[in-house]
Structure 1
Amino acid sequence: MAKKYQVHYNFIFVHADGKQLQEAVDILTKANVHPVYGDIFSLTQTKEAMDKVAKGRNKGKI
């Protein structure tokens, strides 16, 4: 899929090790990588949130 869209990606695998996790933080910070958040729902809106996920209309995490 990446080749089809001419994009590149990398994986970073870490252990629950403070030194390695700090190295990962440094790499991600330097590259200005940050998570994408979708809509925020309360627990009382769980059904609406799951409906949105099921329809594939969310961007990022819900």
Structure 2
Amino acid sequence: MSYQADRIERRNRRKAIVITTLLYGSLLTFFLVKDAISWKKYMPEVVLELIGEEAPATAVAATDEVRP
């Protein structure tokens, strides 16, 4: 019995995990390195806590501003 299909599936899964990790890592690195972009506005609070940063004082959901 041939296990070639199982090996191909495992290889594809590994490739997908590596590519996804690289994409998210490069995006995170871009926001951390780029000074002109306020990356704290786009990060979830959980990620900011893991990094050791404080969340921004005014969150969008906490504002009293009403859109027309």
After TM superposition, the score normalised by the length of structure 1 is 0.26
- Relative to its length, the structure with more helix (as a share) is 2
**Between Structure 1 and Structure 2, whose CA radius of gyration is higher?**
2
TM-score normalised by L of structure 2: 0.25
